[in-house]
A and B are shown apart, each in its own frame.
Chain A
Amino acid sequence: MMATNQNVTLKAYRYDPDVGQEPRYDSYQVPIDETTTVLEALYYILERVDGSLSFRSSCRSAVCGSCAMFINGMNRLACRTQIVALNSREVRIAPLPHLPVIKDLVVDMAGFWEKYERVRPYLITTVASPDKEWPQSEEERKAIEEAIDCILCACCHSSCTMSWWDKGYLGPAALLKAYRFAADSRDQAGLERLRLVANEDGVFRCHTIFNCTEDCPKGLSPTFAIQELKKRVLWKKLTFQM
C-alpha cells in the first residue's frame, strides 16, 4: 500500500478526430488521498488542468455504468476504482479496448446497444397483465438476482476476445441479459428466448475464456449465464422441442 496524500502520475489516452493528429498519452500530476477514485482524478484534471479532456460519467456510484475505462490493464469503472488500491505510482487510462473511439476516453457504444436490442431485453407476456403485479416467489426471484445487477457498462463486452473478432457475436452483456429473461418466471416468450441465442453468433461462440467474469465491476458471471443458456438449448434440442 502506498503512503497517502501525495501525487500520482495519470496518463490519459488523447485522441481528437477533428484535429486529426495521432493519438497520444498525456501525463498529469494528480494529488490523491486514500479515498481518491480514478474518476475524481479525471475531474481534477478537467476542472483545474486541462478542460479539453473528454470522458463519460454520471452517477459516480457504480450504478449507471457510464465511466467504464481501461485502467491499468483491466476494464474497470473509474468511479469505483480507488487509486491507492491500484498499488501503482502510475495510472494509465485508455478507452475500452476494441470499441471505436469518438474522442479521448469516450467510445462508440452503438454496436453494444444494437446487440443488447437483439436479445429483446424486456418482459414478453402473452396473457393480459394482472391487476396488481406479476407475482414471484422468493425462489423465482433468486434465479435472476445476479443478472439483474448488470449495469450495462460494457466492461465484459470489451474484454471478450470472441467479441473482438466476431463482430456479430452477441457478447457477454447481451447474453447475460438474455439469460435474465429466459430465467424469469414471469416471462412468457418461451422457446423464442432460446432461439435468439441458439446460434453461432449466440451462446456457442463463447469459448469460456472468463475475461468477462474477470473484469465485471459488479462481480457478476456472464460466463455462468451463457453456460446455463447453452445447457437449456442443448436439452431442448436433444428432446426435439426445438
Chain B
Amino acid sequence: MKLTKRDVYLGRGLGMWAWLLHRVTGLLLVFYLILHILVISSSLGGSSLFDPLLRLLQTPLFVLLEMGLTAAVLIHGLNGIRIVLFDLGLGVRRQKEIFAVLMALAAAMWVWAVLVAYPNLFRVL
C-alpha cells in the first residue's frame, strides 16, 4: 500500500510551528557554532590566515547571515523560555498567547539589534 495515497497530517496549530521553528533555529545555531569555532581557531595560524577571514565576514553576504543569526538566537532563546515555563507547569493553557508575545518581543529586539549593530546600514544602502 502506497503511503502517498493517504492524506498527510499537517499540524495547523501554532504549537506545531513553534516547535518546528525551535528545531530549525536550533540546528542553525549548532551549524553556526561549528563555523564560529573554525573561524576563531584560524587565528592560531597567524594574521595572514585570520585577517582575510575577518574581511570575508564583513562582506554583505555575511552581514546578512549575521542578521539571520541574530533572529535565530532571539527566536530560539525566547521560545526556550516558553518551553521552560511549560516544564514548570506554567502557562500550558496559554501557549499561543505566550508564543505570540515572545515572537513580537523577538521581532522588536531584532530590529533594535540591527539598528545598533549596523548604524550605517541605511546610509550604505
Contacts and interface: CB of A to CB of B under 8 A. Distances in A.
Contacts of B11: 159, 161, 209, 211, 214
B100 interface: no
A227 interface: yes
Interface stretch (A91-99, A120-128, A165-173): A91-99
B92 interface: yes
Nearest to B2: A22
Interface stretch (B55-63, B83-91, B117-125): B83-91
Nearest to B88: A231
A210 B15 contact: yes
Interface string A202-242: 00000111110110000001011001101100100000000
A29 B12 CA distance: 27
A73 interface: yes
Nearest to B1: A23
A38 to B, nearest CB: 15
A234 B86 CA distance: 13
Contacts of A22: 1-2, 5
Interface string A151-162: 000000011010
Interface in B102-119: none
B9 A213 contact: no
Nearest to B17: A209
Contact of B9 (A15, A70, A221, A224): A70
B13 A13 contact: no
B9 A159 contact: yes
A231 B7 contact: no
Contacts of A207: 19
B10 interface: yes
Interface in B32-53: none
B15 A227 contact: no
B15 A211 contact: yes
A224 B92 contact: yes
B87 A230 contact: yes
Contacts of A94: 6-7
Nearest to B12: A73
B89 A209 contact: no
A185 B7 CA distance: 42
30 contacts: A23-B5, A24-B5, A70-B7, A73-B12, A75-B9, A95-B6, A97-B6, A101-B6, A158-B9, A159-B11, A208-B15, A208-B19, A208-B92, A209-B11, A209-B15, A209-B16, A210-B13, A210-B95, A211-B15, A211-B16, A213-B15, A214-B15, A221-B92, A221-B93, A223-B15, A223-B86, A223-B95, A230-B89, A231-B88, A231-B89
Given A159-B9, A208-B95, A211-B16, 20 more contacts: A13-B5, A22-B2, A23-B1, A23-B5, A24-B5, A70-B9, A97-B8, A101-B6, A161-B11, A208-B19, A210-B16, A211-B15, A214-B12, A223-B15, A223-B86, A224-B92, A224-B93, A227-B87, A228-B89, A231-B89
